[in-house]
Structure 1
Amino acid sequence: MPESSVHGLTIGALAARTGVHLETIRYYERIGLVPLPSRSPAGHRRYDAEAIRRLTFVRRCRELGFPLESIGAMLGLVDRQAVTCSEVQTIVRHHLTEVRAKLADLERLDRALSGMLSACPGDDRPDCPILDALMRPDANGPGC
């Protein structure tokens, strides 16, 4: 008889099914993203189809870089059966704004590092323009 047919999934089976590590599942339980499961008579965790669905949601959100607080907010809407597209869109829009800010920072770092590399001949000289740029007290960070 399959492990999930009568008794629910063990934590190991849930981890395999969702691609989320065992310790991460336990952590999500501790912080309330995933409800505590029922227990078998022997005290083993047993997970149902809703646990698979919820954990898959959390994993996908994490893959998209959502912070745990935002994931919790969206799940809170689901749990209260108070979901509106407007509220979810607000959470996603905020995250997208943060992602775009990070991209802008990464582009700035790319330009700064590329500039340093282009200023350095990469030869055997002891005075490296990259080190000089990084040690210059008048530089305002990576944008040198």
Structure 2
Amino acid sequence: MGEPELRSGQVADAAGVNVQTLRYYERRGLLAAPRRSPGGHRLYPAETVTLLRVVKAAQRLGFTLDEVAGMLRAGRRGRGVGLQEHARRKLAEVERRLADLTLVRDTLRAAISAGCDDPVECADSACCPLPFAEAAPAGRAARPGRDSVSLRSDA
């Protein structure tokens, strides 16, 4: 007798996803097309639950479905960019985002400490830490502590 097979609802419940997620992951190639029962019900191998949990955990860590699919393919083939390399890349991305967020936090704290309420008045004040202008207008030197702060919007 073969391994037990689970119907869509059973797999979804066990993995903490909904049935539409199963179908979406099938279309995306994350899950193999399941076997069908004589009555047309999808029947999944029991390890599908583990696979779905892996996918959801990877998403919580910030991996895209394309990245997850690549890791799964590499793992199945034993070659390509697997978990270690993806994790290194994701960690570098997270560290860049943390640095950007730290700069945002520190700038906002400085803005609160400066006590400015009117952004227009603050923009013309030497003590305003907010980067209202990304670059100083032509003919005006950047003021240290103000124009030198750059908040990236591409993160």
For 1:4-23, list aligned pairs within 5 A: 8-23=5-20
1:9 is paired with a residue whose SS is strand
In the other structure, the counterpart of 1:64 is: 61
TM-score between the two structures when normalised by the length of structure 1: 0.73
Task: Flag the structure with larger Rg.
Answer: 2
Q: Residues 63 and 43 (structure 1 numbering): CA distance in 2 closer, same or farther, change over 3 Å?
A: same
- Please report how far the alpha carbon of residue 72 of structure 1 lies from its aligned counterpart in structure 2 after TM superposition: 1.2
Deviation per residue, 1:64-99 (Å, 9 max, x gap): 11122221121102222x158x84322211111111
Q: 1:90 aligns with which of 75, 85, 103?
A: 85
- Structure 1: gaps spanning 5 or more residues: 122-126
CA contact (8 A) 2:8 2:44 kept: yes
C-alpha separation in 2, matches of 1:44 and 1:90: 38
Identity of aligned residues (%): 37
Aligned match of 2:36 in 14, 36, 39?
Answer: 39
* Greater length-normalized contact order (CA 8 Å, ≥ 6 residues apart): 1
1:43, distance to aligned residue in structure 2 (A): 1.8
Q: Distance in 1 between matches of 2:22 and 2:109?
A: 41
CA distance in 1, matches of 2:122, 2:19: 48
In 2, the alpha carbon distance for the partners of 1:73 and 1:94 equals 13
More helix by share: 1
Name the CA shift for 1:21/1:102 in 2 (closer, same or farther; >3 Å).
farther
Matched, 1:128 2:118: yes
- Which residue of 2 is the match for residue 76 of structure 1? 73
SS at match of 1:17: helix
Where does the alignment leave 5 or more consecutive residues of structure 2 unmatched? 124-129, 137-146
CA contact (8 A) 2:70 2:82 kept: no
Q: Structure 1's 119 and 77: CA in aligned 2 closer, same or farther, altered over 3 A?
A: same
TM-score by length of structure 2 reads: 0.68
Let me know the Cα RMSD of the aligned residues.
3.0
